[in-house]
Amino acid sequence: MVKDACGSLTNTMHKVVVLDMANWLFGGRILNAGELAKTVKGKNYNVWEFKKPATFDYELDTVESMYALLDD
């Protein structure tokens, strides 16, 4: 899933939905558009990969920091 190629009514709503999907995206990967462009060019890229359910046990005050972890 390309996390910044979709949106929602608010930035917070978008980030919560992406984190929810990351929590249950069995076998899935999440990356941003810049990293996707690297894949098309055959370059090395960074991607977050699903390892276990409910990886992101977020609260409203931790949404920003947990969303940023998807870029690590």
- The pLDDT tens digits for 10-42 are 999 999 999 999 999 998 999 999 999 999 999
The per-residue pLDDT of the chain, averaged, comes to 94
pLDDT at residue 46 greater than cutoff 90: yes
Residue 26 lies inside a defined structural domain of this protein: yes
Residue 62 belongs to what domain range? 11-71
Name the least confident of 4-8, 34-38, 42-46: 4-8
Q: 31 and 21 in contact (C-beta within 8 Å)?
A: no
Query: Vertex 31, ends 72 and 18: CA angle to 5°?
Result: 95
Q: How far apart are the first and last CA of the chain?
A: 15
Instruction: Record the pTM.
Output: 0.86
pLDDT at residue 6 greater than cutoff 90: no
Residue with tokens 């929810």: 20
Number of domains in the chain: 1
Residue 21 lies inside a defined structural domain of this protein: yes
Residue with tokens 């462009």: 37
